Amino acid sequence: MDNLAFARAQMGISLAFHMAFAAAGVALPLVLVVSDVLYAKTRDPDYLEISRRMAKGTAILFAVGAVSGTVLSFELGLLWPTFMGTYGEVVGLPFALEGFMFFTEAIFLGVYLYGRGKIAPRHHLFAGIAVAVSGMLSAFFVTLVNSWMNDPTGFRLVDGHVVDVDPIAAMFPRPFWHQTSHAILACYQATAFALAAIHAAVLLAHPTSALFKKALGITLAIATVTALIQPVVGHASAQAIAKHEPTKLAAAEGLYETMPRAPLALGGIYDETTGKLRGAIEIPGGLSFLSFNDVDAVVQGLDAVPPDERPPVNAVHWSFDLMVGSGSAMALLGVVAIVLAWRRRGVPTDRWFLKCVVAAGPLGLVALETGWFVTELGRQPWIVRGFMRTADAVTPFSHMTARFWLFAVVYVFLGVTVVFLLWRQLRAAPVAASPDAPPQSHGPHGAGASP
Amino acid sequence: MTARDILAAAMLIALIVYVLLGGADFGGGVWDLLAAGPRRREQRVLIEKALGPIWEANHVWLILVAVLLFSAFPPAFAAVTTTLHVPLTLFLVGIVFRGSAFTFRSYDTRGDRVQQRWGLVFSLASIVSPLLLGMCAGALASGDLRWVGGVAGGGFVDPWLRPFPVAAGVYALTLCAFLSAVYLANEARDDALRDDFRKRAIASGALVGACALVAFALSFEGAPRIRAGLTDRPWTWPLHLATGVSALTALHALWRRRWRMARVAAAAQTTLILLGWTASQFPYLIVPDVTLAGAAGNPRTQRLLVVALGLGSLLLFPSLFLLYRIFKGEQVFAVVDATTQRPSALPVSREGEGDGEV
């Protein structure tokens, strides 16, 4: 692996890590607000307890997201100084706005976490809503930067110099609406499915816990709604990519030859030398139809661009299939959840269903990360599509190997630590908060003890 | 005053706030490591609670500096992140370690030994960070960090390991330790503990003065433009005077146990030191190859950034004020502590009580 590969791997790890924690930071406040509103309406102490318990986890996840965000801001320069040096002024505005949103989120999170009981409930709820909204907006602004990288606009390149910069135009490139909505929904979806899995797992062990049944109600609702909207947004996104970023779509489908009646390909290994996709399940005309609503439409293949402008096909193709597969599974589960909830007139607690929810837990995160792989890897070899190659943006600092392994180890360690500690907190927590039911811990030795 | 000047001023303000808020956090690591005497455990507990190292969102001020730099002065950002690649990377490793240690400390983990080990990691990471940032500042000022034709002229290691940048790093670390000790003396409730930190504050305050002199002496060879900036310009002498006055005020206030005055004076001293450094380096972002004017990005972006800053401040300052008013009397820097606090026998002081002021 050469320096460029290590730099890309480094950026990949930092972003993958940050996105998981940032997604939690965006979505958890929504769960908190929903729980608070339900408490205000029903005066059921269980909802208050749900909010209280999630607050600590939210604070931890938010702080880790902040740390990884700091690292990323610097790594933009440490790893890709030429990119930032040339295009910083074009794309800096959404970064600045994202920073302000993050700052607002942090302040109101402080008010929310510490102000319960100290300020009027209406103001406390307002703080929670402010956290949720500013979190969503900061995700919006930062995704705008990525959409610009995919479809650059708002400047001209003359003799290698950036001129006629229009920062507002650069903030709203063609893909912006579908890319941002897809990403924001993914944050809620990933978090909701992970939380629902946790709640379902506890319910499986303690079927009578009213507290966790209510918690599952909230998270399952968010998971279902997002799981059903996301494929629609995703489809719109794919159609836009077919028009404006055809090389990315070709890589996602492993399509070498530009052709009408292009097949939809599931799985398979792409051979770079022959352009053949081996072992894929093909649906004839499927790709043309999905992309342009016309089975006979011509879909551009990888042969439309020279070999040195083609993305790594297998990585993009498998990421895409994993994303769509996870998304479909989650959508299916969402439909099942709706049917069951309608029939049971409440939160479904059938054991087989709960087991499915537990199994679906990681799917949201898988879809989030693989989806991002598609958009990033699918843009290679460009860092700014059509204008700057990733290879030309990388830092001249040459000892990237040691750096990469150091950060990889530290990040893996930090990630494992956080998950482990949150897990332990969950195991030690009592199963009920209602005054009539005696609190029982589901840990083997009782509340608060370490396993 | 052009948009460019406003943005440069905004970066400076963000940096000052970062040092004032985060510096005390970092400095806490020094006192954690050097905790000694019969109240050693209580010292560590106070540091952990009062300084709120959990408020990792402090880093947002530094992120703001980075964002403003790459949006308004993009070539300068590229220059800084290339030439100072190594110390900035090490700084980031420290930040991530602090994050890990913080996560551990927020939970009631297994026992003292695990806590101790993480405490050590946290302290070391907290010490290394201001040291590295100070070295970066020193290197930027020294004139040895060369950026010609997009190439790091002086190599990646040599320019920041020279005597002047190293002295600047030690200076920064000592300043953070001093700030931290003053804040801790304010936060401590127990008189004996207060006195412990008073002694530490006075000692580190004196050291800050010594570091300033050493840095100045080294600047003759190590950073001649800074030396010239510090002594030859007309406004520098009032600036030095003000810095000296606030330093002496802080030490005097500590001596006389006037805690709030000491805190204000220490903050003023820190601000003036940073102002003195940047003013003597003006208009260079990196001496001698990168200036504010030379690295300025296009004016339209800069104007929009100023608008964004204005709108952002309109939103942020009232909410910060609201946050402070709600928690007046509580530990402002430890807002998340309420949800993560373990019950402790050690009470922490409230603002305005027991500060010895008439």
Give DSSP secondary structure letters for A78-100.
Answer: HH-HHHHHHHHHHHHHHHHHHHH
Chain B residue with minimum CA distance to A100? B312
Is B326 within 8 Å of A118 when comparing Cβ atoms?
Answer: yes
Res A70: pLDDT: 87
Residues B296-320, mean pLDDT to the nearest whole number:
88
Res A149: pLDDT: 94
Which of A56, A100, A111 is closest, CB to CB, to B322? A111
Chain A residues whose beta carbon lies within 8 Å of the beta carbon of residue B64: 99, 103
Polymer length in residues for chain A: 451
Distance CA A147, CA A174 (A): 8
Percentage with pLDDT > 90 across chain B: 32
b or e along B215-229 (b: 16 or more beta carbons within 10 Å of the residue's beta carbon)? Answer: bbebbeebbebbbeb
**Cross-strand pairs, A388:** A384
Res A446: pLDDT: 35
Is A166 within 8 Å of B300 when comparing Cβ atoms?
Answer: yes
More reliable by pLDDT, B122 or B327: B122
> Minimal Cα–Cα distance from A447 to chain B, Å?
13
A418 in contact with B, Cβ within 8 Å = yes
A126 in contact with B, Cβ within 8 Å = no
A67 in contact with B, Cβ within 8 Å = yes
Closest CA to A210 of A37, A431, A32: A431
Residues 356-415 of A with CB under 8 A from B: 395-397, 403, 406-407, 410-411, 413-414
A157 in contact with B, Cβ within 8 Å = no
Closest CA to A51 of A139, A132, A112: A112
Amino acid at B48: E
Is B56 within 8 Å of A67 when comparing Cβ atoms?
Answer: yes
**Cross-strand pairs, A276:** A271
Mean pLDDT of chain B: 81
Enter the ipTM.
Answer: 0.84
Chain A residues whose beta carbon lies within 8 Å of the beta carbon of residue B308: 93, 96-97, 100
Chain B residue with minimum CA distance to A106? B57
Amino acid at A189: Q
| Cβ B85 vs Cβ A78: under 8 Å | yes
Residues 332-361 of A with CB under 8 A from B: none
Chain A residues whose beta carbon lies within 8 Å of the beta carbon of residue B300: 165-167
Identify the residue among B62, B96, B132, B300 best suited for mutation to test binding to A, counting A beta carbons within 10 A and taking the highest. B96
Is B316 within 8 Å of A104 when comparing Cβ atoms?
Answer: yes
Chain B residues whose beta carbon lies within 8 Å of the beta carbon of residue A155: none
Res B349: pLDDT: 38
B85 in contact with A, Cβ within 8 Å = yes
**Which two tokens mark A317?**
């193709």
Three-point CA angle B196, B21, B8, nearest 5°: 140
Res B54: pLDDT: 45
Which of B99, B104, B308 is closest, CB to CB, to A93? B308
A423 in contact with B, Cβ within 8 Å = no
Chain A residues whose beta carbon lies within 8 Å of the beta carbon of residue B67: 73, 92, 95-96, 99
> Minimal Cα–Cα distance from B19 to chain A, Å?
16
HEC string for chain B: CCHHHHHHHHHHHHHHHHHHHHHHHHHHHHHHHCCCCCCHHHHHHHHHHHCCCCCHHHHHHHHHHHHHHHHHCHHHHHHHHHHCHHHHHHHHHHHHHHHHHHHHHCCCCCCHHHHHHHHHHHHHHHHHHHHHHHHHHHHHHHCCCCEECCEECCCCCHHHCCHHHHHHHHHHHHHHHHHHHHHHHHHECCHHHHHHHHHHHHHHHHHHHHHHHHHHHHHHHHCHHHHHHHHHCCCHHHHHHHHHHHHHHHHHHHHCCCHHHHHHHHHHHHHHHHHHHHHHHCCEEECCCEEHHHHCCCHHHHHHHHHHHHHHHHHHHHHHHHHHHHCCCCCHHHCCHHHHCCCCCCCECCCCCCCCCC
> Which of the four pLDDT bands, split at 50, 70 and 90, describes residue B157?
confident
Name the region of A175 (left: φ>0; alpha: ψ -120 to 50; beta: rest).
Answer: alpha
Res B357: pLDDT: 31
Chain A residues whose beta carbon lies within 8 Å of the beta carbon of residue B322: 111
Chain B residue with minimum CA distance to A73? B63
Amino acid at B273: I
Is B98 within 8 Å of A406 when comparing Cβ atoms?
Answer: no
Instruction: Give me the residue label for tokens 């002065």.
Output: B73
Is A99 within 8 Å of B70 when comparing Cβ atoms?
Answer: no
Res B51: pLDDT: 61
| Cβ A414 vs Cβ B103: under 8 Å | yes
Which of A71, A113, A119 is closest, CB to CB, to B335? A113
Closest CA to A258 of A289, A295, A288: A288
> Minimal Cα–Cα distance from B300 to chain A, Å?
7
Identify the residue among B336, B337, B340, B341 best suited for mutation to test binding to A, counting A beta carbons within 10 A and taking the highest. B336
Strand A156-158, strand A161-163: pairing: antiparallel
Which of A81, A421, A450 is closest, CB to CB, to B81? A81
Contacts of residue A395, defined as CB under 8 A and 6 or more positions apart, other chains included, come to A7, A78, A79, A80, A81, B81, B82, B85
Is A396 within 8 Å of B89 when comparing Cβ atoms?
Answer: no
Is B103 within 8 Å of A64 when comparing Cβ atoms?
Answer: yes
Residues B229-239, mean pLDDT to the nearest whole number:
78
Which of A66, A92, A162 is closest, CB to CB, to B57? A66
What stretches in chain A show pLDDT beneath 70?
Answer: 432-451
**Cross-strand pairs, A277:** A270
pLDDT at B313 over 60: yes
HSE of A215 in the Cβ direction (CA atoms, 13 Å)?
Answer: 29
pLDDT at B104 over 80: no
Q: How far is CA A308 from the centre of its chain?
A: 29
Chain B residue with minimum CA distance to A82? B78
> Minimal Cα–Cα distance from A349 to chain B, Å?
31
Res A51: pLDDT: 92
From the CA atom positions of chain A, what is the Rg in Å? 23
Residues 92-111 of A with CB under 8 A from B: 92-93, 95-97, 99-100, 102-104, 106-108, 110-111
Distance CA A443, CA A424 (A): 9
First to last CA, chain A: 42
Chain A residues whose beta carbon lies within 8 Å of the beta carbon of residue B89: 78, 403
Is A89 within 8 Å of B109 when comparing Cβ atoms?
Answer: no
| Cβ B121 vs Cβ B97: under 8 Å | yes
| Cβ B188 vs Cβ B34: under 8 Å | no
Chain B residue with minimum CA distance to A162? B298
Three-point CA angle A377, A378, A382, nearest 5°: 80
**Which two tokens mark A214?**
């209510």
The whole-model pTM stands at: 0.87
Residues B26-47, mean pLDDT to the nearest whole number:
85
Residues 250-309 of A with CB under 8 A from B: none
Residues B267-287, mean pLDDT to the nearest whole number:
88
pLDDT at B344 over 60: no
B293 in contact with A, Cβ within 8 Å = no
> Which of the four pLDDT bands, split at 50, 70 and 90, describes residue B111?
low
Which of B74, B96, B327 is closest, CB to CB, to A85? B74
Chain A residues whose beta carbon lies within 8 Å of the beta carbon of residue B96: 67-68, 71, 407, 410-411, 414
Is B59 within 8 Å of A66 when comparing Cβ atoms?
Answer: yes
Distance CA B131, CA B176 (A): 10
Q: Torsion angle, CA of A10/A16/A21/A22, rounded to 10 degrees?
A: 100
pLDDT at B47 over 70: yes
Taking each helix axis from N to C end, the angle separating A363-377 and A313-344, rounded to the nearest 10 degrees, works out to 150
Distance CA A325, CA A287 (A): 16
pLDDT at B176 over 90: yes
Chain A residues whose beta carbon lies within 8 Å of the beta carbon of residue B110: 450
Res A451: pLDDT: 37
**Which two tokens mark B192?**
């004996």
